[in-house]
A and B are shown apart, each in its own frame.
Chain A
């Protein structure tokens, strides 16, 4: 199975900051990498798919990059509604489609 490792596990930042979260796969997954945002008590929401494609309706301050084993999610200017937990997920070829352990983004 492909193992996904996110860093950091938690992060404190301020409104307006630029934030980067990284995700590393245990083997190459090409660009089969998704990012989700989850707020407390809510279902996850798809932000980025195929490593860098922005899901419809997601603000352009979110961006994704990377391929192979190393990926990043960047929020260019944090807004109050962005404080949440972020998960990466690999969807390379066959299941299991594993998630990273999550990165909790908190207000500084």
Chain B
């Protein structure tokens, strides 16, 4: 059974930093690209970042570019999101998602999310 378990979400002050983690199990982690998607309270879904299977390529939404860094450790089946210079608008539930194996990109598995609150 595929499982994605996020952790690391807390309350942090504006300008602060945070690292989110996602522990993956039930699939061959190093074979798949992984993504972070976020959802502000009461709002829609926003794609945040992508890392390829080997960590060789990373991509970011313009809203987080230069502040967030996605990484992975395939030896630990783990995905990370380093979040720096946090803003109030970064407050959201952050989901770790797995890219499917089909030739058509989609997110076939999601974690339960970890809540990041940026507030003074």
Interface of A with B (CB < 8 Å)? 1, 31-32, 34, 36, 38, 43-46, 49-50, 53, 55, 87, 89, 91, 94-102
Interface of B with A (CB < 8 Å)? 35, 44-47, 50, 59-62, 95, 100, 102, 104-108, 110-113
Q: How many A-B residue pairs have CB under 8 A?
A: 68
Given contacts A32-B105, A50-B104, whether A87 and B45 have CB atoms under 8 Å apart is yes
Q: What residues on B are CB-neighbors of A97 within 8 Å?
A: 35, 47, 50, 105
Are A91 and B105 neighbours in the complex by a CB distance under 8 Å?
Answer: yes
User: Would you give the shortest CB distance from A93 to chain B, in whole angstroms?
Assistant: 9
Of the candidates B50, B59, B110, B112, the one having the most CB atoms from chain A within 10 angstroms of its own CB is B110
Of the candidates B95, B107, B110, B113, the one having the most CB atoms from chain A within 10 angstroms of its own CB is B107
User: Chain A interface mostly helix, strand, loop or mixed?
Assistant: loop
**CA–CA, A38 and B108, complex, Å:** 13
Are A53 and B110 neighbours in the complex by a CB distance under 8 Å?
Answer: no
Using CB atoms, name the residue of chain B closest to A101: B44
Are A55 and B44 neighbours in the complex by a CB distance under 8 Å?
Answer: no
**CA–CA, A94 and B113, complex, Å:** 24
User: Would you give the shortest CB distance from A69 to chain B, in whole angstroms?
Assistant: 17
**CA–CA, A95 and B112, complex, Å:** 23
Using CB atoms, name the residue of chain B closest to A94: B59
Q: What residues on A are CB-neighbors of B106 within 8 Å?
A: 34, 46, 49-50, 55, 89, 91
Q: What residues on B are CB-neighbors of A102 within 8 Å?
A: 44-45
Given contacts A43-B112, A43-B113, whether A99 and B104 have CB atoms under 8 Å apart is no
